[in-house]
């Protein structure tokens, strides 16, 4: 049987519930919230503005920013010049020139490895394609230069990245599979755990908006 819907006349209800106290107190309650937020904002307790460039948004540690070439134990690049990244690259921005390595077990190494940062679309396919974890990504996005030539990064620039500690490492899906290291020492900072989108310039560990723990999810089921 179909239920007949209950009809409420809102105007009647308002007239019934109207009182002098409500008329006066209502705005005051609202005003309290407004004033509290105003004070909080003025004193800096709540601050939604990111004061770029002094402050930056914290990116996820899977962020795909400027590339890093990882190193062997002796500091030479891990890259074996196999061209997998250049083959996978949809922007055709990776240029490699291989050379004969004195160690027959390594055999091949890049004498030139250049990425044209202006052509790069930061898709991360090079990282996925790399069989050696020789190329990974950072969270660095600010690539400025005075000329186009400077935006073509060679081996030295890609391996040693003094500005990197500010940004941290990015997309690196095979970290567990390959033991690669960096040619430079990233500054070790105590990481703050911050929820939400807004953080200070110092190193933070971002807590993602949506957390999905597969173990917990399976427990639920």
Partner 1 sequence: MPKLTINGQEIEVEPGTTIIQAAQVAGIEIPHYCYHPDLPVDGNCRMCLVEVERMPKLAISCATLATEGMVVHTNNDRVKESVRGVLEFLLVNHPVDCPVCDQAGECRLQDYYMVYGLHTSEIPLEMKVRKQKVVDLGPMVVLDQERCVLCSRCIRFFDHVTHTGEMQFFGRGDHVAIGTFENRPLDNPYSGNVVDICPVGALTSRDFRFKCRVWFLNSTDSVCGGCSTGCSMRIDHRDGTVFRLLPRRNPEVNKSWLCDEGRMSFHELAAGERVRRPMIKGRDGMQAPVVWEEAVRSVDSKLKEIRDNHGAGSILGFASPSATNEALFLFKQYMAGQVGVTRFEFRADSEDKSVTEQEDNILRRVDKHPNSMGAIKLGLVSKEFGGIEGAIESAREGKLRAGVIIYFKPLVRRPTDEEAESRVAELIRAVEYSVVLAAHKTDWLAEASVVLPVTAWSEENGSYTNYQGRVQLARRAVTPAGDMRPVWQVFALLLAVSGADISWSTAADVFESLTETEPAYRGITYDEARLPGALVADI
Q: Which residues of this chain interact with partner 1, rule CB under 8 A?
A: 80-84, 87, 98-100, 104-108, 131-132
| Closer by beta carbon to partner 1, 110 or else 124 | 110
Pairing mode of beta strands 67-69, 135-137: antiparallel
| Closer by beta carbon to partner 1, 85 or else 182 | 85
* Minimum separation from the CB atom of position 80 to partner 1 (A): 5
Contact between 110 and 96 under an 8 Å Cβ cutoff? The reply is yes
| Closer by beta carbon to partner 1, 96 or else 152 | 96
| Closer by beta carbon to partner 1, 83 or else 122 | 83
* Minimum separation from the CB atom of position 99 to partner 1 (A): 7
DSSP class per residue in 113-170: EEEETTT-----HHHHH-SS--EEEBS------SSGGGGEE-HHHHH--TTGGGT-B-
* Minimum separation from the CB atom of position 163 to partner 1 (A): 30
* Minimum separation from the CB atom of position 72 to partner 1 (A): 14
| Closer by beta carbon to partner 1, 57 or else 108 | 108
| Closer by beta carbon to partner 1, 82 or else 91 | 82
* Minimum separation from the CB atom of position 50 to partner 1 (A): 42
CA atoms in the 13 A half-sphere facing the CB of 197: 4
CA angle 117, 125, 88 (to 5 degrees): 90
* Minimum separation from the CB atom of position 126 to partner 1 (A): 14
Of 206, 62, 85, give the one whose Cα is nearest residue 138. Answer: 62
Pairing mode of beta strands 108-116, 135-137: unpaired
List helix spans (H) across the chain.
10-17, 20-43, 84-88, 125-129, 155-159, 214-220
Contact between 138 and 164 under an 8 Å Cβ cutoff? The reply is yes
């Amino acid at each position: 049987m179909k239920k007949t819907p209950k009809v409420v006349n809102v105007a009647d209800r308002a007239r019934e519930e109207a009182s002098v106290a409500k008329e006066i107190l209502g705005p005051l309650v609202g005003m309290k919230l407004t004033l509290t937020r105003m004070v909080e904002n003025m004193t800096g307790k709540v601050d939604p503005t990111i004061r770029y460039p002094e402050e930056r948004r914290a990116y996820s540690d899977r962020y795909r920013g400027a590339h890093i070439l990882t190193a062997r134990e002796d500091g030479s690049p891990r890259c074996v010049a196999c061209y997998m990244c250049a083959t996978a690259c949809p922007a055709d921005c990776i240029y490699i020139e291989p050379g004969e390595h004195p160690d027959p077990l390594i055999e091949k190494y890049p004498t030139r490895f250049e990425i044209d940062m202006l052509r790069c679309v930061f898709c991360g396919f090079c990282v996925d394609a790399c069989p050696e974890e020789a190329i990974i990504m950072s969270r660095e996005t600010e690539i400025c230069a005075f000329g186009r030539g400077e935006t073509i990064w060679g081996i030295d620039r890609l391996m040693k990245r003094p500005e990197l500690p500010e940004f941290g490492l990015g997309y690196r899906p095979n970290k567990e599979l390959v033991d690669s290291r960096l040619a430079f020492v990233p500054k070790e900072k105590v990481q703050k755990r911050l929820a939400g989108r807004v953080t200070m310039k110092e190193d933070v560990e971002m807590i993602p908006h949506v957390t999905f723990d597969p173990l917990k999810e399976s427990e639920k089921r």
